[in-house]
């Protein structure tokens, strides 16, 4: 039997899970990534605010099935018309099917002064080094104001800005600094969390813990010499330390045709099938996609599963399901759960949700490597927690 060749660009959550869900007796699967390592990005939060030394990376080759090929190389061009992926150095890979899973990347050029403050104070959406810089920042702040500001959309993991706010408040309170270190959270939205049902959960917690927040604050530029962040609306926010959630863009890869890309370099796709706009043999999953769903590992996981099933002739479709774990500090958590047809569920804080997030992190590498063991568990979980069902309980 002639195997169909599937080229997967990107060896992160979406790419690795897609590769491991494809039967190698039917498909010749090739994963290409410029990095040798696969990172568990959500754990940057716990480096930044807990000083966690838990390893967050594994070799991509180690996570892939033995019969899946891995090529470490940058990709310069994806030619959808000619079914070719051009690697750095000019070598080209032909394919029968293509899966783009290239992720998203912080853009420090949109906001004046952003790069400088990211280097100085750190952030928890880019690298281990900058997450450790956040840890150093909060440990060195003995009084004054810590500002955490959403720099713009989109960014990875919608709950992550407020997770940083809640964990930093816990950090300072446990050290007895809550009365001399203030925390200010600033967002460009009309409310602290964009989705109103979840905002109804988190806004009272902000007030209860004495955390100040500013809405309609669209960050324009940062003057670190004056210690001031300035919004497009003309408002100035004074700080002693500043952590900016960076807006993200798609990978710097040329596409033919160019019109499959948005101005921010995300790949346009059908929201149900993940087919790249105009192509039935090419797909995009996870953060690389312009589909309006949360940029999270769970989203990439679900989309990767759908694409793998479609390549095997199953008419699988995305529901737009989100399932973002949300750390509220002090051992409490929630989940941001919704789909295309149902708004975010107003899920109350609980210790169980926090433990579930920690359990997921502990099992993450096995989930990526052994989908045949974990898929039935995920199927049962997602069925039990469908937004329609939970929405009847939590109103």
Domain ranges of the chain: 1-103+251-315, 114-247, 319-395
Residues 6+ apart with CB under 8 A from 131: 44, 45, 47, 48, 122, 123, 124
pLDDT (0 to 100) of residue 43: 97
pLDDT (0 to 100) of residue 395: 80
Helices (H), the chain: 13-21, 44-50, 60-63, 114-121, 128-140, 160-174, 196-208, 297-311, 351-369, 371-384, 387-393
C-alpha 191/C-alpha 215 separation (Å) is 6
* The CATH number fitting domain 1-103+251-315, selected from 3.30.1370.100, 3.50.50.60, 3.40.250.10, 3.40.50.1970: 3.50.50.60
Helices and strands counted in the chain (H then E):
11, 22
pLDDT (0 to 100) of residue 148: 98
Asked if residues 273 and 318 have their Cβ atoms less than 8 Å apart, the reply is yes
C-alpha 335/C-alpha 281 separation (Å) is 34
CB-CB neighbours of 117 under 10 Å: 23
C-alpha 126/C-alpha 276 separation (Å) is 27
Beta strand pairing status for 144-150 and 322-329? unpaired
Asked if residues 98 and 117 have their Cβ atoms less than 8 Å apart, the reply is no
pLDDT (0 to 100) of residue 2: 87
DSSP characters for 78-104?
Answer: EETTTTEEEETTS-EEE-SEEEE---E
pLDDT (0 to 100) of residue 294: 87
Matching fold, domains 1-103+251-315 and 114-247: yes
Tokens standing for residue 267: 């790949």
Asked if residues 79 and 42 have their Cβ atoms less than 8 Å apart, the reply is no
Residues of the chain with pLDDT under 70: 1
Residues 6+ apart with CB under 8 A from 204: none
Q: What's the whole-model pTM score?
A: 0.95
pLDDT (0 to 100) of residue 1: 63
pLDDT (0 to 100) of residue 64: 97
Asked if residues 353 and 326 have their Cβ atoms less than 8 Å apart, the reply is yes
C-alpha 133/C-alpha 47 separation (Å) is 9
Superfamily per CATH, domain 114-247: FAD/NAD(P)-binding domain (3.50.50.60)
């Amino acid at each position: 039997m002639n195997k169909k060749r599937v080229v997967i660009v990107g060896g992160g959550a979406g790419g690795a899970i897609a590769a491991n869900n494809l039967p190698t007796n039917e498909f010749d699967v090739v994963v290409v990534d410029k990095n040798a390592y696969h990172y568990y990005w959500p754990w940057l939060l716990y480096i930044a605010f807990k000083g966690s030394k838990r390893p967050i990376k594994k070799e991509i080759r180690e996570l892939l099935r033995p019969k899946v090929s891995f090529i470490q190389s940058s990709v310069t061009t994806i030619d959808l018309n000619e079914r070719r992926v051009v690697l750095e150095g000019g070598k080209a890979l032909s394919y029968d099917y293509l899966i783009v899973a290239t992720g998203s990347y912080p853009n420090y050029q949109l906001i004046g002064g952003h790069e400088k403050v990211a280097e100085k104070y750190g952030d928890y959406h880019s690298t281990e080094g900058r997450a450790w810089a956040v840890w150093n920042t909060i440990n060195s702040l003995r009084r004054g104001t810590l500002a955490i500001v959403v720099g713009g959309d989109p960014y990875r993991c919608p709950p992550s800005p407020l997770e940083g706010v809640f964990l930093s408040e816990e950090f300072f309170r446990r050290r007895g600094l809550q009365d001399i270190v203030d925390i200010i959270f600033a967002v460009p939205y009309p409310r602290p969390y964009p989705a109103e049902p979840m905002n109804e959960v988190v806004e009272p917690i902000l007030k209860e813990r004495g955390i100040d927040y500013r809405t309609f604050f669209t960050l324009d530029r940062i003057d670190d010499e004056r210690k001031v962040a300035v919004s497009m609306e003309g408002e100035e926010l004074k700080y002693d330390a500043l952590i900016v959630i960076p807006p993200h863009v798609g990978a710097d890869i040329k596409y033919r045709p160019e019109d499959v890309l948005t101005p921010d370099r995300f790949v346009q796709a059908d929201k149900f099938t993940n087919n790249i706009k105009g192509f039935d043999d090419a797909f995009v999953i996870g953060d690389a996609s312009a589909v309006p769903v949360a940029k999270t590992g769970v989203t990439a996981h679900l989309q990767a599963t759908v694409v793998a099933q479609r390549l095997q002739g199953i008419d699988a479709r995305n529901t737009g399901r989100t399932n973002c774990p949300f750390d509220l500090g002090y051992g409490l958590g929630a989940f941001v759960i919704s789909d295309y047809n149902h708004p975010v569920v107003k899920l109350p804080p609980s210790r169980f949700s926090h433990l579930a997030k920690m359990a997921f992190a502990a099992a993450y590498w096995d989930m990526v490597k052994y989908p045949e063991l974990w898929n039935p568990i995920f199927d049962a979980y997602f069925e039990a927690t469908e937004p329609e069902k939970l929405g009847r309980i939590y109103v």
